[in-house]
Amino acid sequence: MSKPARRALLLCVPAVLFLLLTWQVVGHGPLLRADARLSRDLVHPDEFSQVLSDLGDIRVAVPVLALAVAHALWRGRGAGDARWWLPPVAAAVLMALLPALVVPLKDWTARPGTPVMPPAVGYFPSGHTATAAVAYGSATLLVLPWLRSPAARRTALALCAALVLGVSYGLVRHGYHWPLDVLASWCLGAVLLTALSALPGFGRSSRRTSSGTPRSQSGPR
């Protein structure tokens, strides 16, 4: 499968799934009953789930992205790439605009919380999960081109996945969100990160010598 076809698939499949989940929530579809049963089986508030869910807080996730943005700006400027500034700036803009996308969705769907939460609405999609997916995912996309070995790149990808999955588990386990809230944010994050990775400068190495000649070691392509 060609790269454009893979990218189109990564955009379309999660986008369609997100629309289906939103339709179920807004229309109080049958999937919500299965969601409630799964939540009852999984909810068990404890300190560990609280710690995991806190990894999706903007006070934790955004500083991680800020470090990756600063690193990409520093390395990119020294590499001599004509668009060295675009990937880090785009990642920062996406993170800044995320609440403008998630908050209206929460208000529109007006989904109540789980039984362990105080009476309120606005739980779909999960803001903490979306924050974790976009912040940690964008940070990973920014650092991947500068990692020299395949093992280091695999480690970065695994760490990103572990952080997002950990946040997701903590939110559901503690009862902060229904499982579908989290799944919807996975879909949203996949769409946003795929679109971000399509911009020039992502997904390829920007490491160059001071003369502008590419190094013999290349990053992911």
Cα–Cα distance for residue pair 68/137, rounded to 1 Å: 11
What's the pLDDT band for 144 if we cut at 50, 70, 90?
Answer: very high
Question: Tokens 């093992």 label which residue?
Answer: 151
Q: Where are the domains of the chain?
A: 3-25+47-197
Question: Amino acid identity, residue 69?
Answer: V
Question: Tokens 């991680």 label which residue?
Answer: 64
Asked if residue 109 lies in contact with residue 26, where contact means CB atoms within 8 angstroms, the answer is yes
Question: Amino acid identity, residue 101?
Answer: L
Asked if residue 194 lies in contact with residue 7, where contact means CB atoms within 8 angstroms, the answer is yes
**What integer pLDDT is reported at residue 200 of this predicted model?**
81
Q: HSE-up of 103 (CA within 13 Å, CB side)?
A: 5
pTM of whole model > 0.75? yes
pLDDT at 217 over 60: no
Question: Tokens 């998630």 label which residue?
Answer: 102
Instruction: Please calculate the CA angle 202-203-207 and round it to the nearest 5 degrees.
Output: 80
Question: Tokens 């409630």 label which residue?
Answer: 36
Q: What is the 3-state secondary structure (H, E, C) of 67-133?
A: HHHHHHHHHHHHHCCCCCCHHHHHHHHHHHHHHHHHHHHHHHHCCECCCCCCCCECCCCCHHHHHHH
Question: Tokens 């999955």 label which residue?
Answer: 165
Which range has the worst mean pLDDT, 25-39, 52-66, 79-93, 109-123? Answer: 79-93
pLDDT at 205 over 60: no
b/e per residue, 20-39, with b = 16+ CB within 10 A?
ebbebbeeeeeebeebeeeb
The tokens for 88 are: 């880090």
Cα–Cα distance for residue pair 179/135, rounded to 1 Å: 20
pLDDT in tens, 50-86: 999 999 999 999 999 999 999 999 988 877 677 888 9
Question: Amino acid identity, residue 119?
Answer: P
